[in-house]
Chains A and B, each alone.
Chain A
Amino acid sequence: MTIQFNDETFRDDYTFRNSEWAIRRFPFPFHEDSYMYSVNMERHRGGPEGSVYEKRFDVDEHYISEMRDRAQVLADDPLRCQSLPHMTLAGWDLLELIMVSKSEDYPDLFELHRDGATWRWVNKPLGIDDTFTFMDESSLPYGPMEYITRQTQGDFAVLDQRENNLWMDAGMVTTQADWSLDFDIGMNFFEWHAPVPMAHEMGVFKRALKFLLNVQQGSPARRLNWTMTVNPLLDTSPENYHKWGIQKTMLTPENVGRKQHLRVELQTFFRLPRSNALVFPIRCYLIALEDLVTVPKWGRRLHRVIRDLPEELATYKGFIDNRPMILDYLSQYDDGQTTSPGIWPDLDTEPPLRR
């Protein structure tokens, strides 16, 4: 299908909206009625047609507006995009991976023409048509990682692999769930995950690291992660927390369905061939609760998950104070009926809400 791109904002007046199409394909992260940490990795090799899993780098109706928001964040704070000196080769790897994937997966939107080291990149939605020399930084307006990630939805952490660990040595981070690239750059896998409660004790990160160190070229992996955000605010950075934190206190029983969003990260992992680095794209999808509950299975399940979530996790994910109000709202959409396993909406087979 041809994508109709929205003209919308993720700040101030928050005109962000999901179309019916975007709601149906939302990556709902709960495969059962409860949630606990796990290393829920699977191969990233496509998925159902139209789903966010189908393409290597999903492009949706929010593309142009998200890229505009990113440019604004970077203008305000250039430290959101950084690359330590040894990561330039990985930046070229990433540029190639994205250009090749997008031009193959969306030939009507993106084109890549390669003649030796002379590459021509056409990005129709953003009106870009650039010719440059592959591996020559001076031929691009930005470094290779910054150039391509200003044109690709989602945050990007580029991880160097050495000493049997992964090091967060480069990244483009403007749509993050409250972590700071500027602070975390240079940290290893355990260090940048240090603030996450409970998971260390459960050995989750040890297992995850072992898995990720073995992600091989041509065999990318993926998982979903989630949190909650008041307003469709992409840039929930610690840098700006003193500005956006107050919005968390503005929920009311009347506006909770519209303002409270489930925030889901589609995390993928690709081995980068020339640098042997690993790229970790973190793609953020937002959905208002009032849109989410239009899928009866999701309304039932989200209520149960939020209700039963351990206190530490609700605190870490930043919605402990608002949980009672969220639950009051969601409880209207949980009629107690059983839900089908798996994350898909199952609209044709799941029963409608019993009032």
Chain B
Amino acid sequence: MSTFDFPPSIASRPTYGALAPRAGAAQIMLADAEGAEALLAVAQADPELMHRAHVIYIPKHTGERFTDPLRAAAPDILHIAPSYPACTQRLHRVFSAAPMGAQIYLAGTEGLIGQAMALALQIGIPKSAIQTEHRGSVARRVQCVHCKGITEDVMTDPFQCGHCGLNLFVRDHYSRRLAAFQGVCIDAEDPGNVPPSVELYS
């Protein structure tokens, strides 16, 4: 099962729904790994809509598992990308050409959803034109509040900043603009006293 129930949290922490077909001037879908399941669910609910969609998919560790089912759903355009950075220029181009009324569907990991949403908002796409559904890994993208470096795929708390080396605990405070959670030094008041790392949500 690729879904996960996040515990209730504070108001800045993103919450995710379930993608649903929505009428609009264009249909743009982006997913990574198990996020494909959420796109396939939309295709099942409204096959016609999928035939008009521009889909960008990043398989990550899932390999070929979802690419054939996505092809079978017959989107107007299907682009398989090896990574998010590899498709950001394309995504920028597609978002910029989307007329008002376009519907955006983002599915998969928090890091992908967050970064693509930040890009869409930066281009001017309104927030409520964007639907999100979390699937797959619960890893977080975390910004070190001290050195500003962003560490991808953080699975433990606390963790060591990949940039400045400080030991950070991960707050639920989240910046949509940065597409990152906030990491704050855990041993500032007692240097060296760092509790053992535990897996997120454990």
Task: Identify the A interface with B (CB < 8 A).
Answer: 79, 180, 182-187, 190-195, 200, 238-246, 248-249, 321
Contacts and interface: CB of A to CB of B under 8 A. Distances in A.
Contacts of A191: 11-12, 174, 176
B93 interface: no
Interface stretch (B35-43, B58-66, B186-194): B186-194
Contacts of A246: 188-189, 191
B192 to A, nearest CB: 11
25 contacts: A79-B148, A180-B145, A180-B182, A182-B148, A184-B175, A187-B12, A190-B11, A190-B12, A194-B10, A194-B11, A195-B10, A195-B12, A195-B171, A238-B146, A238-B182, A240-B146, A241-B184, A242-B146, A242-B166, A242-B185, A242-B188, A243-B188, A246-B189, A249-B190, A321-B189
A249 B178 CA distance: 32
Nearest to B182: A183
A193 B11 contact: yes
B92 interface: no
- The majority secondary structure among interface residues of chain B is loop
A239 B149 CA distance: 12
Contacts of A186: 175-177
Given A191-B11, A238-B184, A183 B143 contact: yes
A243 B171 CA distance: 19
A187 B188 contact: no
Contact of B176 (A182, A187, A195, A244): A187
Interface residues of B, number: 24
Contacts of A242: 146, 166, 185, 188
A186 B174 CA distance: 11
Contacts of A245: 185, 188-189
A187 B180 CA distance: 13
A88 B109 CA distance: 35
A333 to B, nearest CB: 27
B22 interface: no
B52 interface: no
B175 A239 contact: no
A187 B175 contact: yes
B13 interface: yes
Most chain A C-beta atoms within 10 Å of own C-beta, residue among B171, B177, B189? B189
Contacts of A180: 145, 182
A337 B66 CA distance: 74
B175 A183 contact: yes
